[in-house]
Structure 1
Amino acid sequence: MFLKSITIKGFKSFADRVKVDFEPAITGIIGPNGSGKSNISDAIRWVLGEQSAKTLRGGKMEDVIFAGSGKRRALGLAEVTLTLDNRDGALPIDYKEVIIGRRVTRSGESDYLINNNTCRLKDIKELFMDTGIGKDAYSIIGQGKVEAILSENSVDRRELFEEAAGISKHKSRKEEAEKKLDSTEQKLQRIKDIIHEIERQVEPLEKESKKAKKYQEYRSELKELEVNLLANIYLELEEKLDQDITSKQRLSYQLTEAKSAVSEYDLRIGKEKERLEELTADSDQQKENIFEAKSSVERIENKLTLAKQQQDNILEQKGRLESEINRLKERINLNKEEIAKKDKKEIELLEKIKEKSLLLDQKNKELDTLSRELDEKFAVKKGFQDNQLKQITKINRQQHQLETASRDIRRYQEDITALVEQRESLTKEVDKALEEMRNKESRLEEIKKNISDYRNEYNREKTNNSQLQDSLTSLRDEYEEIKDSLNAKSSRLKVLEGMEENYEGYYRGVKNLFKHIEDSEQIKGVCGVIAELINTPQEYETAIEVSLGSTLQNVVVENDQVAKQAIRYLKTSKGGRATFLPLNLISSRSLNQSELSALKIEGAIGVAKDLISYDSKYQNIIENLLGRVIIAKDIDAAVKVSKAADKRVKVVTLDGDVVNPGGAMTGGSRNQNNNLLGRSREIGVLSNQVEDLTLKLKKREESGLKVKESLVESENKLTKVEEQVHQLELKEANYLKDYQQANREVERLRGELAAKDSRIKELRQEIISLESESKELSQALSRLNNDDSSIKERVIELEEKIKKLEATKALYTDEITELKVSIAALRQEKGSLAEELESKEKAIAYAKDEITNKEEEIKRLMDKDKQLNFRKQELDKEKEEMSKEVVRLKNLLDEFRIEISEIKAKINSYQQESKDIRARYEKLQKEYNKIEIDVAQLQVKLENIQTKLQEEYELSIEAASVDIKKITNQNQVEKEIKGLKSSMKRLEPVNLGAIEEYETLSQRFNFLQEQHQDLVESKESLEEVIKEIEDEMEEKFLETFNQVKVEFEKIFTDLFEGGQAQLALEDEDDLLETGIEINAQPPGKKLQKLSLMSGGEKALTATALIFSLLKVNPSPFYVLDELDAPLDDANVNRFANYLNQLSEIAQFIVITHRKGTMAAANALYGVTMQESGVSQLLSLKVDEVGDYEE
């Protein structure tokens, strides 16, 4: 491998595109100070990945872009490209030529490229790793690198030895392993923290689990008792329902019979009325029919008169048409006689034309035969003349070709013999190379498959890891969001519950009464205030609150005795006043049928009592307060509803405006601070939300722990897979390099073999072709000589025959012309005769058509006469029938009048009977309505029991009745149920999920213990890997150091022409970190440290060390930037001589202004600034370098 070229554009002082082609040996870059020659070295360092602007002699990376000059504007892009020859496969990439590129813009965008494909800086570093090439490697040596070698800090010097030892990859692997070790330790710590947290949770959760199990035992016993009680009650109610349904069915049957009777009479009356209407209509119709019949008789008489007139006209038209037919027949006879005369003349003309045409055809055929014969003779003559000329040319050419073919055959046979020998040798080489390549390919494919499998596994796990990270982030965000919402709602709930507990917003009497009830149990039978006993949908809260007004705070009690007791307490304690509603005294109120019709008004929503829910126990109370209140959409609708109900009901809008009975209206803005209905609802909603949010928060926390554990497991797996991939990639690179070399060799040998085979085949084909051609040429030459004399004799003979044929042709042409003129005259005469015949025939045809039309017209007239005779007979008959119909219709009209009188009497009788049956039907309907209400109430009670069973125990009534036990003492059962509920109440609050949570937490604890052990093992494994890498690094470093030490001592002596030098390790026990000391003794001086040497001695010592590294592990190319600057002329010459020796194993690009170094270069480039601030490149000869010396 070597550096072929560098292309620079826009980098530092190189404003224009510049390309430098490097020689495989030594290329010199020269130029005055400040011309920009060192910018070429910087460009190479930059394209290989240098990130420090300071190292590139700038302040920031933007400074590498051409900044402009007096005549040029600044550029926006810097771009550098290196082209390397990789035919030896030194770089692990399947290309014979590798192009490395880098570009940067002023906006900060930067790209790296390998063979014009965008890549990462990491890819470029890995490509050149351990090759000696790189921004920090010893392949680019300037004054900064020399200073590092000569530095007092011996550790800086160590980097050169590490690169030479090829341990950069190991160092990178060690760093990665240490990062993984650090990550593993962090994960281990996280696992420990999680385990500690779970240990803290297990003990209290175990207690909650036991408490929950006890609670479930009570609940199971309660379910058994309460389900059995409900089932017994249900069966009793069901029996009563069956009895009521039987009575209802009996009444329904009687109602149906009565209704059927009413319907039957209604049907009879309807039918009779319909019959009456039909008869009346028929009577009217008969009158019209009589009038129509008389009119028809008059119309028939008119039609008979018209038919007689039409028959007279027909006889007159018939006589006229018969006269015209006779005249046309006479004209046809005259035309036929003239046609017969013309036909005879036409036959005579046709005979003459036929005779002349036959003679013309005969003459034309004879002329054609003569012309063809003449053309053939001319063609034959020309053919003989052309052949004569061609024969002479062919004879000369054939003789020349015969001689050439003989010479080529001899030469090709000699070439084939040599090629066959070469092919046999190549075939053996190809077979050997193929066998070697197949072996390498098989092993390489196996490694690639393993890498692909591991990479797929890595990618899958990486995707999983990324998803887990996203899930964890999402869960954290959700956790915080839920937590914030929970805190806000909990705070609001606490405030509302405090208000409810302290009865804030209630009157003083109500508040004092309930506080007294809480502190003592003296007053029993208080059910609660109205606001607590109803549930109101949010959209109706305002309307219901306005409807109830102050009655919202009325206290519902079991009976009037409880009310009296409460009033006495308020009086004696001076606690204020309150209104009480005893259940045994308050009766319901409702709308009558007329008032209910107001609900049909648009905008009416419903009766207030129907828009809320409450315990049926308080039905009378609620109906008393709200049974005569209608809720409307808005004030306009409320006014309409009030009017429709005769202003006897209270109408309230959704916004709280009121139309009172009598028409008074109340409305405007309202104070919303004391919304008792809304407060109760909001507490219920908030309680459910807080419970849901608490559950969600706990679930998110558990999910977060699970995701964290999965993340730890995923990262451990990634670490293992990544290490396996890395090991396989190292093997793959080595095998790929060997395989590519073998493949290139096979392809080269195959190419040569194919070329030999192709050439042999071509030559053999040429020989066969030439031999065949020679044979044909000899035969053709003989034939050509024989045919030449025969052609000359035939040409003379043909010329005589042509003259005779031309004379005969002229005679035939004259005769044919005369015949054509005669035939044309006859045809013209025939044409005129044909036109006359055609005219006569058309006249006859026209006359015949006219006769036919006239005859058809006569026939049509006679047909019409017959039709008129027939029509007259029909009309006479029709007139007689219509006269009879008039008499019949008059008789029928009299019958209709009699039947109408009878039907009217029957209708009056049916109506009286129907009235009696309707009275009986209404009496049965009242009985039916009463029993229907009883049935509905029983069904509601049964449904309530079913609902309770379903909602509380998820049981159907059938399932609850399977093992039912007969209850003899219902009070005792209710007492047991109450006792169980008290026991459950004492255990509350109970976390029923604690049982499952405890089991889940225990499983998680065990899982985390296993994860902890896996991480401990992973940590130990990584520590072992790091130890192996360090051992290998120490071994390679020490081996390289010893080799360089030997070379350094030898090269130092050669460069100084005497003296001695030593390399020493500062700490042999710490090979991974030890610095390297250089002690040197130039000729005639004592052994001393570098710091005590002169500048020239230091430079030459540094050069000796660099050359030592080069010999031990040569880099493909070196860039030496003014390395020879501190040397005197004598040392420069020795430097140049040694450079020449080393150029056999490496390529050198030397930036210099020393003539001794220039002389050693195979090619020179001069850098100059002909335009201020812009570097230009020139190709030079050694004798032209005078202007570029310092």
Structure 2
Amino acid sequence: MRLTQIKLSGFKSFVDPTSIHVPGQLVGVVGPNGCGKSNVIDAVRWVLGESRASALRGDSMQDVIFNGSVNRQALARASVELAFDNSLGRAAGQWSQYAELSVKRVLQRDGESSYYINGTHVRRRDITDMFLGTGLGPRAYAIIEQGMISRVIEAKPEELRVFLEEAAGISKYKERRRETETRLGGTRENLARITDIRLELATQIEKLDAQAQVATRYQELQAELQLKQHLLWYLRRRDAAAERERHGADVARVTNELEAENAQSRALEARLEAARAAHYQAGDAMNTAQGALYAANAEVARHESELRHAEETRARLESQHTERRTQLVAWREQRSQLTQALHMWAARASDAKQRVLATQEKLEAEGARLPQAEQAFRAAQERLTEARSLLMRTESRLQLEQANRAHLQRAAEALTQRRERLDAERQALAEPDATALRELEARIAQIDASLQAARQAFEALQGECVALQEASAQAADAVGMAQREHAAAEAQLSTLRQIQADVQNNAPLRDWLERHGLAAAAQLWQKLRIDAGWETAVEAVLRERLHALQSGAIDRGFTERPPAKASLFEPSADLAAAPASGVPLAAKVHALDDSIRGALADWLAGVFVTDGRPDAAARAALPPAAVLVNREGDQFTRHTVSLHAPDPADAGLLARQAEIGALGERCAELARQLEGAQRALEQAENERAAREAALEDARLEIGRQEKARHDAQIEQLKLAQAQERYRERSAQLHAEQTELAAEAERGGEALAACERAAAAIGDEIAAARTRLEASRTEHINAETALAEQRRAVQQAEREAQDALFGERECGSKIAEIDHSVRVIDQQIERGDLEVLKLTEELAADPIPAVRVALDAAVEARIACEKTLAEARNTVEVAAAALREIEEARLQIEAKLAPLRERLGELRLKEQAASLNYEQYATQLREAGADETLLTGEAERAPRPSALQGEITRITQQLGELGAVNLAAVEELRTSRERKGFLDAQSSDLDEAVKTLEDAIRRIDRETRELLRETFESVNRHFGSLFPTLFGGGEAKLIMTGEEILDAGVQVMAQPPGKRNTSIHLLSGGEKALTAIALVFSLFQLNPAPFCLLDEVDAPLDDSNTVRFCELVRRMSAQTQFLFISHNKITMELAEQLIGVTMPESGVSRVVAVDIDEALRIREELAA
């Protein structure tokens, strides 16, 4: 699975949609600081599911959305998409079948985050699962950002183990184990609940079995009663339906007659409105024709005038001018006449308007009285309906009382029979034995005491086991700590001894000493013990004489000179003379062998110790040849000062020797402590095993006691239930007998009250009938008043319409005269203009044109006169038609009243039949009756009265059964089914627990084996890659615990020429190379599809960078690398370079360069 493209939009500084193509195995990202290169790494980490804002260099997840710049507004969303080539099918799960994969994440400003794979909306976990075990993920080792190298190498052992688990691909195993443990816990809880439920069901089934037999008989009788009752309702509903259909046919017939008359009335009303509209339209047309005639007359007059003017000669111009002025006077006179006519018609219009107002007021008054009449009619109709309903309800009450009286009589007979049966049952009832119950109670008390004692013993053992487990854990921790301390001391001691051995092994002198028989001799420093703090002073004074060898013949001559400095001394126990004053350096040196005292006295003679730097007076007081030395090794004489610089070969020799001695003693002490801790751990484990065995025995004993108590409790429960049933039944029989006696008394009283109520209801029926007749009379009177009021309203409407027509006629006349006035004004205006233009008109000969225009105007006037005559005829015809239609409508209104009264009576009868039908239909529907079955039964059913008798008989039989648990049959069946289901489920859960426990053990075993193999393989690769990057040295991984599933991983690394004991002592560049070696070791075992490196070469020098690049080039055969670097050597490694720039403040841009393509083009140009 290879990365082919990265698409960013709105992510940090990548504002615009940006595509970064990754075509090769080695792709470099370059650019100046702060241009957004690391945002590419953050984008990949973010789309793979990173949810920590700090890991993306932000305070919150909204910080990854572009927040605006000087020239850009903030965006509302950020998205990153990775495109992969999955042609090899390395993707996990269902995604392996796709040759190309696209992983996308979108974040909105409101915090909503969405994930997509190939455009399909998925969960964040689906993204994580797809990359499990590949080394990819938000916290995996395949993405190394700035500063992560140092964090990797300085990480805690538990954090390093995460990288090892990812390389081993066991992250999916851990997820499976966690899910399996969750399911196992839930399964055990379900199993415990099911066991309790099964015990309760067994007891419940015994009680339900007896109740189910009685319930079955009850259900049979109830089914028979239900069928009879449904059949009775069905027959009565059928009779009501027939009656309703008969009345319905009459209603339909009368309704059709009424609708026919209404249709004619509505048709006439429509014709009336159309006739009124035609009348109004004809009036408007007549007014328009009148105006057109006036205009035509004016036009003819104008053309005649023009003709006269044209025929006059220039000599008659003044006469023609006089005529035109005369014409203008006539027009003004005509205008005055029209103005007087206009005032006359305006007065008529005012009178017409007053008439309209009067008729409207009359119409409103009559219309206001119409709702009162209608309301009175509705009230009368409601009272009539109420009187009918009252009569029907009263008659129904009488029928109900009669049925109730019959029912009470039958109930009294049933009570008598039931009392006789209860007496017989009470005499036959037998009391259970109470002695067996008391014996069981005593037995249960004894078992409870034993069980309590067993539980107390179990709890005590359980507490001891917990304490012993804690003690064992503490002992194991003590052993582990002692082992670690002992191993650390041994390692430190071994290192110091190796250093001392290297110092002692003087290669140049080795051959010379062997030839002279001195190779086995001990050196001087090995026989010294120096006071703490004065080791450097002694090393400064003795220098190479620390390596002096003891020889018995120092006076002999040597055949050859030694190749390096060599010192010999002969054994002597002579002591140095005590100095007159001061502390000699020899007092700080203690000989472990008396034979070296003489040599020490000679070499340390005249050497005294001092603190700090002595002043001139102190040095002047020194005797000749005396020397002062301080703790730093600086030497002072009377006239000289020698500042000490340690010899690299001998520096710290005596201090290391003292530390070796102390470490040897500490190792011995730690070994003794470790042995004691191991004995304590073994003893704690033995005690814990013994207590756990005793705890298991106590648990088994509790189980046996609980089973015995459970058996006894079940038997006790059975006896107690039998005794309780006896007491309950005895009390029930007594209560029932008492209740039956009281019920018989109440039944007699109810029967007498029922007879009295029936008599009273008969009186109410007579009163209701009288009230009904009165309501009918009132209804007829209200209906007559309503019809008269409607006729008065219609008369007022006709008068209002006539007044409105008169008003409109006045308006038309006024408009017509006004139009004539405007025409005359126009003529006067044109006459004035003609007087002024006579001179110009005489210059031409307009007579032919004027005559043609005059003929046309005359024809137009004739046409207008004809149109006006036709319009006046049309108005008269429309008025006659309007009066005729109105008279026809009044005749139809007179026929509607009797039909409406007849229709009302028929609908009341139909409604009564419908109420009966709906009552029985509702009862059948609510009861869920089977209509098909009832139809067949109705053919051979007896009369309804006989059916009612059978219903009464079945009701008495149901009453004889007493209290019945109707749900017992269903509860019994359900309980048995549930118990069978629970038995099967309990067996399944037991099997599931075993399966899940086996799965956890198998996962632990596979994980342990896989992790151990991974650790060994990574350690082997780490040991080989480390010398490759460093050019030497050694490195390894160390497990920090016994259990590999919980143990941490610690890195030990020693570059060439160094013997450091901790990784923290390495320099920054050495740590970076070590971390790279570790990460690449993980890649050797489980190569990730691609690796992202963010300036990991920053702390490396050129030589280390070359080795790093060579290693990356070799690994690119299996892993694709995308690296960010400022190093030219690393840039040369890239096959493609992607430049990131920031030409606009806060906005990143991408420029890609294919190095191979560039070289090919250069070679072509050179050729």
TM-score class, shorter-chain normalisation, is: 0.3 to 0.5
TM-score by length of 1: 0.37
